[in-house]
Amino acid sequence: MNNVKKALEELTLTEKFRQGNVRLNACPSRNVLKDVTSRWGVLVFLTLQQGTHRYSELRHKINGVSEKMLTQTLHALEEDGFVLRTAHPVIPPHVEYSLTESGKEVAVRVEELVNWIEVNINSILTAKDEYAAAHNEAG
Partner DNA sequence: CAGCATCCGGTTCGATACTG
Partner DNA sequence: CAGTATCGAACCGGATGCTG
| Of 16 and 120, CB closest to DNA | 16
| Of 17 and 94, CB closest to a second copy | 17
Judged by beta carbon distances under 5 to 8 A according to partner kind, the member of DNA, a second copy, none in contact with residue 138 is none
Half-sphere exposure of residue 136, counting CA atoms within 13 Å on the CB side? 7
In the set 52, 71, 102, 115, which binds DNA (CB under 7 A)? 71
Computed from CA positions of residues 15, 17, 19, 25, in that sequence, does the dihedral angle turn out positive or negative?
positive
20 binding a second copy? (CB under 8 A): yes
Q: What share of the chain is helix, strand, coil (3-state, %, to 5)?
A: 65, 10, 25
Instruction: Tell me which H or E stretch contains 109.
Output: helix 101-119
In the set 13, 87, 95, 113, which binds a second copy (CB under 8 A)? 113
Whole-angstrom distance, CA of residue 136 vs CA of residue 139: 5
In the set 16, 94, 109, 128, which binds DNA (CB under 7 A)? 94
- List the interface residues with a second copy, window 71-110 (CB under 8 A): 78-81, 102, 105-106, 109-110
